[in-house]
């Protein structure tokens, strides 16, 4: 029972981490290697607002930090990626460099050690089927599911969401209908960054804010996206459940050190067996040589 | 207002040296040979120039290792179209293999390095094999993960010396051997790669980058070509790692450090992608710079990334192509 409950929590955590990455990739086809950096950046911003500006209420700090992260994402596209759009090598190098710059800049600025923690939303724990679960993890599950539903509604029932989906499906046809490709890309990067910031705010109270988490988040996000099929949202959620439970099982029966190994093995098996991922049917022919 | 535009014209000398006239007089020969000789002699003379500064002589060795890594990145990225974000993976594998051969199996140094280079390259190719039949970002993703993964595995399992690394590797007999092994290999690899990419096989590799369907339609196995290219690039990288392990007489997880991934990329972008020489020259600029900035710690990485992004966005041709243009052509303003 414990395995199932914590497996679900772990899976929702993973899918929250990777949602931003998959959203950006599916819409603008930019592999955002700065994803983990944005995650840590937003966690650090919240910490900064709470501790350095006295009297800043926690909820307000969260909102400001997430919006700042979104703005950073939009600026990255507007000033850097827009000039190298379509040049795949340059896109990868540029986003990777930006991510590294943010992470290592934060490390240089003093973000190391275990002193950077965020308060949990609600203290205490509750017994579910004889398993003790603290409120923060319950909130993560609840908010996570709510986020999926909201995103689904957003992309299906709002005009801008429909525009994003249009660009994701067929860029030329969407442009012919008067949808601005660059504008949607900016929006997608902003939303993607905001989602990674949102995930950070939810997940970071469970641990310390350290730079290494940034790299781990990036790797887990990529692993989940590759396994689910790059750019497929349903695939992302299914894949995060696959990896989430696989990680917990190895943790329970082998050792805790293998979380990363599980992620990489899963990627390699996926690439060998079905390179387009669980749900990436649509682009299968394009990606295989 | 009069409209003006800039016109670029090849120098007469350049046009003359394209055909048989290249050997007609010493001027033409010098025009062709000059830059190459300057580079070769400059590299060979470098240890003597810094004779009085022992600290900088160490830096020279490291600089050449980075030059090799940059060469391998440039070859993979601009001739085969595979972006390798994990140069550290190659150095780490090379370093650990040479430590295994030298310390555990007792091979002498001159046998350990070549063995480590070849078996390390085979190992890297094997590790990267699953993502080679695919197009797109998969190669970048997998190479990004491997250095982190191997660091974790070595730390967690406490194998191969764990966090302390393996000590007691043989050093080089004297300083000059230390310098000239790497110097001659850099020159050899540089000109060897230039020849390699201009041969038939290089053309096929470029075809793989630009249009793999047409390569496939010509009856050539794309995956096999990519395997070959990755093997060649890993040979270069693994040699760098093995050399470095013997230079420090130590192998550890710091061989998987981020520096080995990001500085070569930055060197290639600064030096000019696709020229091979540019990669070497870029690392000659960046590595001394990074020594000067040593006091800043990890802030150096921020600086590289800023330079890198700046070059990619605003000057994507790089220094080498710019210099080539100035050497071969002159510019003038003409009326439209």
Candidates B77, B130, B157; nearest CB to A268: B130
At residue B177, does pLDDT exceed 80?
yes
Rounded to a whole number of angstroms, the distance between the first and last alpha carbons of chain B is 11
Is residue A69 a part of any domain in this protein?
A: yes
- Can you tell me the mean pLDDT for A91-110? 85
At residue A281, does pLDDT exceed 80?
no
Candidates B149, B216, B265; nearest CB to A260: B149
At residue A143, does pLDDT exceed 60?
yes
**pLDDT attached to residue B186:** 92
* CB-based contact A100 B305, cutoff 8 Å: yes
**Positive/negative CA dihedral, B154, B157, B161, B165:** positive
Candidates B130, B134, B312; nearest CB to A93: B312
Vertex B104: Cα angle to B100 and B106 (nearest 5): 105
Candidates B133, B148, B309; nearest CB to A98: B309
* Strand B166-167 to A131-134 pairing: unpaired
Whose CA is closest to B74, among B185, B202, B201? B202
Is residue A227 a part of any domain in this protein?
A: no
A47-56: which pairs have CB atoms within 8 A and are 24 or more residues apart? A47/A116, A47/A117, A47/A118, A47/A209, A50/A118, A50/A119
Is residue A245 a part of any domain in this protein?
A: no
Name the CATH architecture for the domain at B4-335. Answer: Orthogonal Bundle (1.10)
A272 vs B: CB within 8 A:
yes
At residue B1, does pLDDT exceed 80?
no
**pLDDT attached to residue A101:** 87
Max mean pLDDT among A279-283, B159-163, B206-210 falls in: B206-210
| Dist. CA B279–CA A285, nearest whole Å | 34
Which H helix or E strand runs over B166? Answer: strand B166-167
Range in A271-275, B282-286, B306-310 the model is least confident about: A271-275
Distances (CA, A) of A239 to A191, A227, B33, B220: 21, 6, 58, 35
**Count of domains forming chain A:** 1
**pLDDT attached to residue A279:** 67
Who's near B190: CB < 8 A, 6+ residues apart?
B71, B276, B277, B280
**Positive/negative CA dihedral, A190, A196, A199, A200:** negative
| Dist. CA B229–CA B156, nearest whole Å | 32
In chain B, what are the helix, strand and coil shares in percent, each to the nearest 5?
A: 75, 5, 20
Range in A2-11, A106-115, B165-174 the model is least confident about: A106-115
- DSSP bridge pairs for B8: B331
Task: Read off the pLDDT band of A285 (50, 70, 90).
Answer: very low
CB count in 10 Å sphere of residue B127? 20
CB count in 10 Å sphere of residue B332? 9
* CB-based contact B138 A100, cutoff 8 Å: no
| Dist. CA B70–CA B261, nearest whole Å | 9
Distances (CA, A) of A24 to A152, A191, A252, B242: 15, 8, 34, 39
Vertex B308: Cα angle to B92 and A76 (nearest 5): 115
Distances (CA, A) of B196 to A127, B93, B150, B200: 67, 24, 31, 8
| B131 to chain A, closest Cα gap in Å | 6
Is residue A48 a part of any domain in this protein?
A: yes
Question: What residues of chain B lie within 8 A of the CB of A261, using their CB?
Answer: 149, 152-153
Could you list the residue range(s) of the whole structural domain that residue A45 is in? 2-122+129-210
Q: What's chain B's average pLDDT?
A: 86
- Can you tell me the mean pLDDT for B312-328? 85
* CB-based contact A108 B262, cutoff 8 Å: no
Task: Read off the pLDDT band of B121 (50, 70, 90).
Answer: very high
Whose CA is closest to B291, among B61, B95, B74? B61
Residue-wise pLDDT tens digits, A14-65: 888 888 888 888 888 888 888 888 888 888 888 888 877 767 788 888 888 8
Residue-wise pLDDT tens digits, B41-77: 988 888 888 878 778 888 888 899 999 999 999 999 8
Please, which residues 28-87 of chain A have a Cβ atom closer than 8 Å to chain B?
31, 33, 79-80, 83-84
| A162 to chain B, closest Cα gap in Å | 26
Each domain of chain B, given as residue ranges in start order, spans 4-335
| Dist. CA A259–CA A222, nearest whole Å | 14
* CB-based contact A97 B308, cutoff 8 Å: yes
Chain Cα centroid distance, residue B130: 24
Is residue A184 a part of any domain in this protein?
A: yes
| Dist. CA A145–CA A137, nearest whole Å | 12
């Amino acid at each position: 029972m414990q395995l199932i409950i914590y497996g679900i929590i772990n899976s929702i955590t993973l899918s929250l981490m990777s949602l931003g990455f998959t959203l950006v990739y599916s819409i603008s086809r930019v592999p955002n290697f700065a994803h983990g950096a944005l995650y840590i950046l937003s966690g650090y911003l919240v910490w900064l607002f709470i501790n350095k500006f006295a009297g800043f209420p926690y909820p307000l700090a969260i909102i400001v930090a997430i919006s700042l992260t979104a703005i950073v994402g939009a600026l990255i596209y507007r000033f850097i990626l827009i000039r190298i759009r379509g040049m795949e090598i340059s896109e990868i190098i540029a986003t990777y460099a930006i991510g590294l710059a943010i992470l290592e800049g934060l490390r240089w600025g003093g973000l190391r050690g275990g002193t950077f923690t965020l308060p949990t939303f609600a203290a205490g724990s509750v017994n579910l089927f004889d398993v003790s679960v603290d409120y923060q993890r319950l909130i993560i599950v609840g908010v996570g599911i709510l986020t999926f539903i909201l995103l689904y509604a957003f992309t299906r029932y709002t005009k801008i969401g429909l525009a994003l989906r249009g660009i994701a499906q067929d860029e030329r046809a969407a442009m012919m209908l008067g949808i601005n490709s660059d504008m949607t890309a900016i929006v997608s990067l902003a939303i993607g960054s905001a989602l990674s910031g949102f995930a950070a705010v939810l997940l970071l109270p469970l641990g310390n804010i350290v730079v290494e988490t940034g790299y781990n988040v990036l790797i887990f996000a990529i692993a989940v996206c590759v396994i689910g099929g790059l750019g497929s949202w349903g695939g992302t959620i299914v894949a995060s459940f696959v990896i989430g439970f696989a990680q917990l099982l190895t943790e329970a029966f082998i050792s805790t050190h293998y979380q990363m190994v599980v992620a990489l093995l899963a990627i390699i098996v996926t690439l060998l067996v079905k390179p387009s991922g669980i749900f990436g049917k649509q682009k299968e022919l394009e990606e295989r040589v | 207002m009069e409209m003006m535009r800039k016109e670029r014209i090849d120098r007469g000398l350049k046009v003359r040296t394209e055909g048989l006239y290249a050997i007609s007089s010493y001027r033409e020969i010098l025009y062709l040979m000059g830059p190459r000789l300057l580079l070769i002699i400059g590299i060979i003379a470098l240890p003597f120039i810094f004779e009085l500064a022992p600290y900088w002589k160490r830096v020279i060795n490291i600089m050449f290792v980075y030059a090799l890594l940059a060469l391998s990145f440039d070859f993979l990225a601009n001739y085969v179209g595979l972006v390798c974000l994990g140069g550290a993976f190659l150095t780490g594998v090379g370093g650990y293999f040479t430590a295994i051969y030298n310390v555990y199996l007792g091979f002498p140094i001159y046998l350990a390095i070549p063995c480590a280079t070849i078996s390390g390259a085979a190992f890297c190719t094997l590790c990267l094999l699953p993502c080679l039949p695919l197009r797109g970002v998969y190669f970048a993703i997998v190479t990004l993960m491997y250095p982190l993964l191997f660091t974790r595995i070595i730390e967690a399992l406490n194998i191969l010396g764990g966090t302390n690394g393996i000590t007691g590797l043989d050093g080089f007999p004297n300083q000059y051997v230390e310098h000239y092994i790497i110097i001659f290999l850099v020159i050899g690899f540089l000109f060897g790669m230039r020849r390699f990419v201009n041969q038939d096989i290089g053309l096929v590799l470029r075809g793989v980058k630009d249009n793999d369907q047409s390569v496939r339609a010509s009856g050539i196995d794309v995956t096999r070509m990519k395997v070959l290219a990755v093997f060649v690039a890993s040979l270069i990288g693994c040699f760098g790692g093995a050399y470095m392990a013997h230079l420090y007489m130590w192998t550890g997880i710091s061989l998987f450090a981020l520096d080995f991934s990001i500085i070569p990329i930055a060197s290639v972008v600064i030096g000019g992608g696709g020229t091979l020489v540019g990669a070497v020259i870029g690392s000659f600029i960046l590595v001394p710079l990074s020594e000067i900035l040593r006091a800043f710690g990890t802030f150096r990485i921020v600086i590289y990334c800023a330079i890198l992004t700046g070059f990619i966005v605003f000057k994507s041709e790089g220094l080498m192509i710019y210099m080539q243009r100035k050497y071969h052509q002159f510019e003038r303003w003409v009326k439209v």
